[in-house]
């Protein structure tokens, strides 16, 4: 069987901006609590964040949300700049961050156009009452190293192990496999799966909304522009990073147009 190519489809139309995914990620991945101070210094750690845009003038103002997480780009700008190979692409389409190899040069964060790489400027701290809820499957990163969304690789590895043990194949959309943010999303705005499996939900959505499915198939890249009903796009597509995350445009029913943010 071919290696999986993990990816995600994010439907901006369904996202309500509730931030449940952010909290889910925060607690799954032992991310320290961001205080006001961290935000004013522009140094919060949020592996997934909700970007909020206002559209229109008051009182006809509309809020627009885009969940932004590591795009696990196939041509990632962060990978070649790392002097110690602490970030690389593995055979499952994941952009991997190896914490114990990272020496904290922050080159990768400067290279990332999506601003999803976060540096630990401080030793992570939790209130005593929260120390016991740290996830034992995830490393607690120390000061001085880079971190970012891993597509919850600990969950992928666990599911893989379980399926090998029980001689079953990995089920598409399995809650054991799904990243914390996907499980946390109440509106199913986030969908996770294997782009190498044409039967998976993400492949079907990608094919329907982007005009081409499957891994590495970027031939029909501009095809969707002609068809209004196709909502798929990549974030900052023009940089040619070939992300593994597909976004679906918001549908504005009032103006009856499809808008791309």
Residue numbers at the binding site for another protein (CB under 8 A):
88, 90-92, 94, 96, 98-101, 136-140, 150, 153-154, 157, 161, 165
Tokens of 155: 């969950």
CA distances in angstroms from 87 to 32, 46, 116, 149, 193, listed in the order given: 21, 18, 14, 12, 22
Least Å from the CB of residue 121 to another protein: 19
Least Å from the CB of residue 137 to another protein: 7
138 binds, among another protein, ligand SF4, none (CB under 5 to 8 A by kind): another protein
91 binds, among another protein, ligand SF4, none (CB under 5 to 8 A by kind): another protein
Specify the residue, 54 or 228, whose C-beta has the smaller distance to ligand SF4. Answer: 54
Rule CB under 6 A: which residues touch ligand SF4? 15-21, 24-25, 28-29, 47-48, 50, 65, 67, 69, 149-152, 179-181, 184-185, 187, 189-190
Strand 95-97 to strand 118-119: parallel, antiparallel, or no bridges (unpaired)? Answer: unpaired
Each residue of 6-40: b (16+ CB within 10 Å) or e?
bbbbbbbebbeeebbbbebbbebbbbbeeeeebee
Burial of 95 (0-12, 13-18, 19+ CB in 10 A): buried
Least Å from the CB of residue 167 to ligand SF4: 27
């Amino acid at each position: 069987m071919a290696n999986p190519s993990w990816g995600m489809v994010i439907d901006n139309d369904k996202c309500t901006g509730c931030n449940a995914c952010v909290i889910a990620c925060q607690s799954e991945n032992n991310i320290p609590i961001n205080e006001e101070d961290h935000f004013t210094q522009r140094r919060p750690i949020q592996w997934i964040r909700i970007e909020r845009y206002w559209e229109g003038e008051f009182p006809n103002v509309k809020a627009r949300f885009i969940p932004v997480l590591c795009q696990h780009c196939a041509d990632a700008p962060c990978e070649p700049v790392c002097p110690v190979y602490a970030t690389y692409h593995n055979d499952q389409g994941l952009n991997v961050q190896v914490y114990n190899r990272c020496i904290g040069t922050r080159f990768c964060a400067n290279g990332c156009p999506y601003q999803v790489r976060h540096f630990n400027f401080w030793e992570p701290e939790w209130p005593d009452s929260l120390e016991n809820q740290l996830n034992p499957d995830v490393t607690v990163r120390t000061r001085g190293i880079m971190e970012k969304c891993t597509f919850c690789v600990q969950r992928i590895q666990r599911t893989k192990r379980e399926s090998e043990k029980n001689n079953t194949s990995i089920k598409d959309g399995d809650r054991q496999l799904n990243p914390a943010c996907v499980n946390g999303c109440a509106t199913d705005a986030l969908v996770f799966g294997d782009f190498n499996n044409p039967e998976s939900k993400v492949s079907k959505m990608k094919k329907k909304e982007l005009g081409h499915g499957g891994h590495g198939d970027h031939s029909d890249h501009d095809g969707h522009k002609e068809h209004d009903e196709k909502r798929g796009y990549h974030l900052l597509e023009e940089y040619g990073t070939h992300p593994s995350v597909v976004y679906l445009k918001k549908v504005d029913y009032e103006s009856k147009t499809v808008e791309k943010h």
